[in-house]
A and B are shown apart, each in its own frame.
Chain A
Amino acid sequence: MIYGGDIITPILMGIMLGGLYALIALGLSLVFGVMRLINLAHGDFVVMGSYIGYALMRNFGIDPILGLIISIPVMFVLGFFIQKYLMGRAFAIASEIPLIIAFGISLIIQNAHQIIWTPLSRALNTPYSHMSFHIGERQFPVSYLLDFVAGILIMLFLRWFLKRTYLGMAITAASQDKRVAQLMGINTGRVYGYAFAIAMVSAAIAGVFLGMTFPFTPTSGISFLTIAFGTVVIGGLGSMLGTFIGGIILGVVQTIGGYLFGPASQMLLVYIIVLVILAIRPQGLFGK
């Protein structure tokens, strides 16, 4: 990205882009908060969401956002079964095994994408994602605005869900103290399954908005996993609001980095900030 003019434009773009980063990171944050698992496959789940949107759009002409009606149940069921039959078993063996299994799933999804879709770069091109809107004199792509709105909505929904619904409270309880939650009659195995499934749904949504904003390839998952890591490290693992703010900070840092040092090194500033925060406050700015 090349920005002309003053610094306000990159800041505004960064804030909107941050919505997308938060959207990508929310699922990672939820799974970590509940199961203490760094889901290395999360980036690939996001890209899977993008490809499902792409397949529906290309083969049936379904708008990617409408296509979520189909992809959300698919990803939900898939997530539930991954947790039940792979991760759940892995947790029973030893604590580091789920991490390795997640890495294996990441490899499988990535290469399956490569075989099905070829390594070519794809994008979700809709009539509206290429339009632009104005804030004062400044012009921005509509897709960025959609990212931001979707990021806020999903974050608020997850917050409401975890605090106000029975299932959400059960998930929170299981994450705070698994044994006590079990004594209170919560089926933690099933609750973990739902938590993983919800993380997959957020990945499906993130994938669609990602695909409308940036082109993606089968290997994009790794770079978006790094971004999600950064977001979660800044915001604090497990906190939804923290993750959202982390996403905004990361987005702004990236666009300012691009503005100051040129597009090639825009991520460098992000990595430096992530390393500094890890060294000073490993639990993140908003983590407990």
Chain B
Amino acid sequence: MVIALCVTVALAIMPLVGVPKSWILYIFLFFIYLAMANMWNLLAGYSGLVSLCQPAFLGLAGYAMTIGTWLDIPWWAGMIGGSLIAGLFALLISSAVFRLSGVYFAIGTLVVPEALRMIFFLWRPVGGAMHGAGAGYMIKGIGDLSPHVVYWLSIFVGVGSLFLVKGILRSKLGLGLSAIRDNERAASSSGIDVFRLKLYVFIISAIITGFAGTIYYLYQGYIEPTATFNVRWTMTLLLATVIGGIRTVEGPVVGTVVVVFLYFLLARYAGYSLLIQGIILVGIMLISPQGIVGILRRSKFYDSIVKRMK
């Protein structure tokens, strides 16, 4: 616990002591991806919901915030409102996609961001200057917003999501989820409302993913549909979670470090970075289905570190 706190504080004061800007950017990305990967782990790992529609949540939240700034709603209110809209959207589509199970759930959710991309491509909610080839919007009124604040927000959401996952797993909701995962029929006959528990997780993950998305777009300064509702987001989250170790709390942390580190290492060769991630993914799955954490857990040294972190 103490070590974790020290690391967080050290990372938080980094921009104040003159650490290179590119480092800050990678740490920022790490925390954004970490928050989203944690939420994906909660869905796919702990609830058996292989959701491929996470870009829909972060995109809707981002768009809500951006459009809000054009209507003179301050960015911080837009962040909260946008996250809630993402949660509402999860509630809205749940009635359709929750009828599907397993593979069909994955296919059904995959289509959602694709449809949203086309809608936002055609829809022009507010007038004014468009940005980029995808005809997106600039975020208004964040000129005096310090980049440090955006960076700290990312730490907040990254670390916060980690505590949230831990908290959920210890709560009644988490216990219900593990019962559902082990045997859905037995859980439901023992009085667990399967639909409601899954819905809670789906909405929580949508809100947090949306919140992390708004922070990402605050940093980027504009939003456009093609890169927003893009399957690349899903790929990043899946890679980070699965390489690290799905269905483990530490997994997304380890996996996100690997993903961001490869990003950093191979920044000039974007194609090679994904190629290597693909090879790592296939290799690790064949060696250890529980990812890097699965391999690490076999060693005693790792055990002692984890115990001290707790």
Q: How distant is the Cα of A279 from the Cα of B104 in the complex, in angstroms? A: 10
Residues of chain A with a CB closer than 8 A to B106's CB:
38
User: Among B62-70, B83-91, B116-124, B152-160, which stretch is in contact with chain A?
Assistant: B116-124
Cβ contact within 8 Å between B275 and A108: yes
Which of B106, B235, B285 is packed against the most chain A CB atoms within 10 Å?
A: B285
State in angstroms the CA–CA spacing of A100 and B245 once bound together: 12
- Whether B278 pairs with A107 at a CB distance below 8 angstroms is yes
Please indicate the chain B residues that have their CB under 8 angstroms from the CB of A274 in the complex.
111
A115 to B269, CA, bound (A): 9
Interchain CB contact under 8 A, B110 and A229: yes
Known contacts being A111-B271, A272-B115, is A104 close to B231, with CB within 8 Å? Answer: no
The answer to whether A105 touches B111 (Cβ under 8 A) is no
A93 at the interface (CB under 8 A from B): yes
Contact A108:B278 (CB < 8 A) given known A271-B111, A272-B115, A282-B104: yes
A287-B46 Cα distance, complex, nearest whole Å:
30
Asked whether any CB of chain A lies closer than 8 Å to the CB of B99, the reply is yes
**Interface class of chain B by DSSP:** helix
**Which of chain B's residues have a CB closer than 8 A to the CB of A94?**
289
Q: B108 — which chain A residues lie within 8 A by C-beta?
A: 275, 278-279
Expressed in whole angstroms, the Cα–Cα distance for A196 and B171 within the complex equals 44
**Is the CB of B238 closer than 8 A to any CB of chain A?**
yes
| Docked-complex contact A97 and B289, CB < 8 angstroms | yes
Which of A97, A104, A106, A264 has its CB near the most chain B CB atoms (within 10 A)? Answer: A104
Q: How far is the CA of A262 from the CA of B225 in the complex (A)?
A: 18
Q: Which residues of B have CB within 8 Å of A38?
A: 103, 106-107
How many Å lie between the Cα of A108 and that of B99 in the bound state? 33
Query: What's the nearest-Cβ distance from chain A to residue B132, in Å?
Result: 16
| CB-CB contacts below 8 Å: B268-284 with A | 271-272, 274-275, 277-279, 281-282
Contact (Cβ within 8 A) B285 A101: yes
Minimum CB–CB distance for B179 against chain A, Å: 19
Assess whether B292 is interfacial by the CB under 8 Å rule.
no
Contact indicator A111/B278 (Cβ below 8 Å):
yes
Q: Which residues of A contact B121 (CB under 8 A)?
A: 264
Task: Chain A residues near B285: list those with CB within 8 A.
Answer: 90, 93, 97, 100-101, 104
Tell me the A100-126 residues at the B interface (CB within 8 Å). 100-101, 103-108, 110-112, 114-115
* 8 Å CB contact of A86 from B96, B115, B238, B286: B286
In angstroms, Cα B111 to Cα A272, docked, is 9
Note all chain B residues with C-beta closer than 8 A to A285.
none
Q: Is B242 an interface residue (CB 8 A)?
A: yes
| A267–B107 alpha-carbon span in the complex (Å) | 16
Contact of B278 among A105, A226, A267 (CB under 8 A): A105
Q: How far apart are B269's CB and chain A's nearest CB, in angstroms?
A: 8
- A109-162 contacts to B, CB under 8 A, are 110-112, 114-115
- Contacting pair B274 A107 (CB below 8 A): yes
A222 touches B231 (CB 8 A): yes
| Contact of A111 (CB < 8 Å), options: B96, B104, B275 | B275
* Binary per-residue interface labels of chain B (241-282) against chain A in the complex, 1 for a CB within 8 Å, 0 otherwise: 010000000000000000000000000000110110111011
Residues of B within 8 A of A180 (CB): none
A265, CB-defined interface residue at 8 Å: yes
Write 18 A-B pairs (CB below 8 A) sorted by A numbering: A93-B286, A101-B282, A104-B281, A106-B278, A107-B275, A107-B281, A111-B274, A112-B275, A230-B111, A264-B118, A271-B111, A272-B115, A274-B111, A275-B115, A279-B99, A279-B100, A279-B108, A282-B99
Q: Which residues of B contact A (CB under 8 A)?
A: 50, 96, 99-100, 103-104, 106-108, 110-112, 114-115, 118-119, 121-122, 231, 235, 238, 242, 271-272, 274-275, 277-279, 281-282, 285-286, 289
14 new A-B pairs (CB below 8 Å) besides A230-B111, A279-B96? A38-B106, A93-B286, A101-B282, A101-B286, A103-B281, A104-B285, A107-B277, A108-B275, A111-B278, A115-B272, A226-B110, A229-B107, A264-B118, A282-B100
